[in-house]
Chain A
Amino acid sequence: MVKAEAVHKSFGRLEVLRGIDLEVAPKEVMCMIGPSGSGKSTFLRCINHLEKIDAGRLSVDGELVGYRQRGNKLYELPDAEVCKKRSEIGMVFQRFNLFPHMTALANIMEAPLLVKKESRTTAEARARKLLDRVGLADKVDSYPNQLSGGQQQRVAIARALAMEPKLMLFDEPTSALDPELVGEVLDVMRSLARDGMTMVVVTHEMGFAREVGDSLVFMDGGVIVETGTPRDVLSSPKHERTKAFLSKVL
C-alpha cells in the first residue's frame, strides 16, 4: 500500500529524513516509534503530500505521491490531482484540528459534501453512522469545544473515515490527551484495525503497538534504526540505540 525507497527530506539545511525505506502491506498496521525530532511525523506527512520529498521515491497504492513519471521525467501533479490523492488517505492529528465553527456532525459531513460532492442525505446518514461507531451518537450537535479531548479525537477519526480512505495515518493521536482519555481513542483505533484498515501510526503507546501492530519501526535521526514485529523489537531489540530508547520509555 505504501512504499518508500530512499526518501530524503530537508527543512532548509536540516536534513530530517535521510533515506527511509519501508513497505506497508494492505491491511497492515505499522507503528512508528522514536524520540521526538527523529522524523516520524515528517515521514507521515510526506505520505499524503503535506510535505514534499526531496529525493527518493514514495508511492501509495502503486502511484507516486505528488508526481507522475513519464519516461525518465517526473512531472509535478497539478493541485486538483494532489487533492484527489489526499482525499483517499485519512489523517488524524495530535491536536485533533476539528473545525471549531462546526458541530461534530458538520465536521464529518464537510469533506464528503465539498470534495466528493455527495448529497446531503447520503453524507448525513454516513456521518451519523460514523459518530455512532466511535460511540458519540449523542454528540451530533456539539461543537468541538464542548467535547473532551478524547471525544474530539474520536470525532476527528470519524471525520477522516467519512472519506472512505484506503489508508489511515495517525500522527501521535493520543499525545495531547489526559491519560484517562487515551483508552477510548485507542479502542476506536483497535476496532479499525480489526476491520482491516491499513494504518500507519506514529505513537508513544507501546502497549498499543505490541497488541495491535503488525510491524514496528524504530526511527532515530532521520533513518530507520530497526524494524520487525512489535514483539521482537520491543522485547529483544538488536540495536543499541533501540535498547537505550526502550529502556527509557518502557
Chain B
Amino acid sequence: MTETVSGPSIPGSQAGKRPETIKAIPVRHPWRWLSGAVVLAIAGDIVYTIVTAPNLNWGVVGAFLFGRLIREGIVITLELTVLAMAIGVGLGIVMAVMRLSPNPVVSWVSWLYIWFFRGTPVLVQIFFWYNLNIVLPHIGIGIPGTPFNLQAGTNQLINPFLAATLGLGLNEAAYMAEIVRAGIISVEHGQTEAAQALGMTRLQVMRRIVLPQAMRVIIPPTGNETISMLKTSSLAFVAAVPELFTRSEQISSANFAVVELAIVASIWYLVMTSILTVGQYYLERYFARGSQRELPPTPWQRFRKILFTGHVPPPIEAPIPLPRAH
C-alpha cells in the first residue's frame, strides 16, 4: 500500500473529529504602524503647542473649574437643556402627528410651524422672545364676552430664562417633528392594519403600536439633538441667562483670562456630553427590544470580556441569528 494523499497534514485529525482550531501567524501591517505613528505625532504636537502656550495660565483654569459661579452655571445649563428638550420632544410629537393627520388644515398648520421655526436662526428666536416686551407690553388670555380675562406684563411673564427656554424649545420642536415623522413613517403599514383589524382606534394604534416601534428610529437622532442642545443652550447668553458660558464670560470679563475660562466651560461641556452619550447608548439598547435576538453588550460587559479573555469583541450591529427551535 502506498500513500496517495499528500499535502499538509491536519493536526489532531481523526475520522469524525473536529480538527484543531487554526492558529496561524497573522499578516504584518507595517504601513499601519507607520501611518499611526505619523498621525499620533501630528496630534501630539498640536496638543503640546496649545497646552504649553506661553501666556496660558493653567492655574486659573484649576482655580475656576469648580468655582461656585461655574457650578451654578452648570445647573442652569442642565435646566435649560432638559426643559427645552421636553418642549421640543412633546411639541415635536404633536406636530408630527398633526403633519400626518387626514385633516388638511391641521397638517398644513404643522407644515407652517416647521417651515417657520426651522427657517429662522435659533439665536434670532431667543432674541425675539427676550425682547418681546418692546412691542407687546402685555400678554393675556380671555374669552370675549365673558369676565374671564387674565393679563400680565410681558416682562413679568417672560423672564430671561423663559425667553431662552422658549426660543430653544420651540425651535427644537420643529426638528423633533421631522425626526418623529420619519420614525412613524418607518413603521411598516401592516402593523397599523393588524391593529385596526383588532378594532383599535387611530389614537390607540398610534400610542400603543406605532410610536413604541418608531422609538427605535427616533431615539438615536434625539440623543444627538440632546447633546447638541446642551451646547446650543450657550446661546442663552444673548438673553443674559446665567448659564455655564454666560458665567465663564462674566468671570473672564473681570479677570481677562478669556481663553482659560473658555477652557473651563469646554471641559464641563465635554463632561456633560460624554455622560449623555453613555445614557443614549443604554436608551437605544432598551428600545432595540424585540428587534434584535440578543441585545448588544454594554460597554461594561465588553470591557469585562476584554479583561478576562484578552479578546476584543467587535461592536455588534447586525442581529445575531439564533438556531431555530425545531
Contact = CB atoms under 8 A, between A and B. Distances in A.
A111 B200 contact: yes
A145 B199 contact: no
B197 A99 contact: no
Interface string A79-96: 110011111111101010
Given A93-B193, A97-B190, A99-B209, A114 B291 contact: no
Contacts of B202: 79
Interface in A68-126: 79-80, 83-91, 93, 95, 97-102, 110-111, 114-115
Please indicate which of the listed interface residues A100, A110, A160 has the most CB atoms of chain B within 10 Å of its own CB: A100
Contact of B212 (A89, A95, A97, A101): A101
Contacts of A84: 199
Given A95-B190, A99-B191, A86 B197 contact: yes
| Residue from A95, A99, A110 whose CB has the most chain B CB atoms within 10 Å | A99
Contacts of B138: none
B212 A146 contact: no
Contacts of B318: none
Contacts of A95: 190
Contacts, number: 81
Contacts of B171: none
A48 interface: yes
B324 interface: yes
A159 B198 contact: yes
B201 A101 contact: no
A163 interface: yes
A87 B291 contact: no
A49 to B, nearest CB: 9
B198 A160 contact: yes
A101 B200 contact: no
Interface residues of B, number: 28
B194 A99 contact: yes
A86 to B, nearest CB: 5
Interface string B200-231: 11101000110011000000000000000000
B193 A115 contact: no
A110 B199 contact: no
A146 B322 contact: yes
Interface residues of A, number: 34
B17 interface: no
Contact of B293 (A98, A101, A145, A159): A145
Given A101-B212, A148-B325, A87 B198 contact: yes
Contacts of B209: 99
B274 interface: no
B28 interface: no
B156 interface: no
A50 B191 contact: no
Contact of A83 (B199, B213, B290, B326): B199
Contacts of B186: none
Contacts of A89: 197
A102 B290 contact: yes
Given A83-B199, A87-B199, A115-B199, A101 B194 contact: no
Interface of A: 48, 50, 79-80, 83-91, 93, 95, 97-102, 110-111, 114-115, 143-146, 148, 156, 159-160, 163
Given A97-B188, A101-B289, A111-B200, 9 more contacts: A91-B194, A93-B190, A97-B190, A97-B191, A99-B194, A102-B290, A114-B200, A160-B198, A163-B198
| 9 cross-chain pairs, A with B, having the tightest CB-CB distances, nearest first | A87-B199, A97-B194, A111-B198, A91-B197, A97-B190, A143-B290, A115-B199, A86-B199, A101-B290
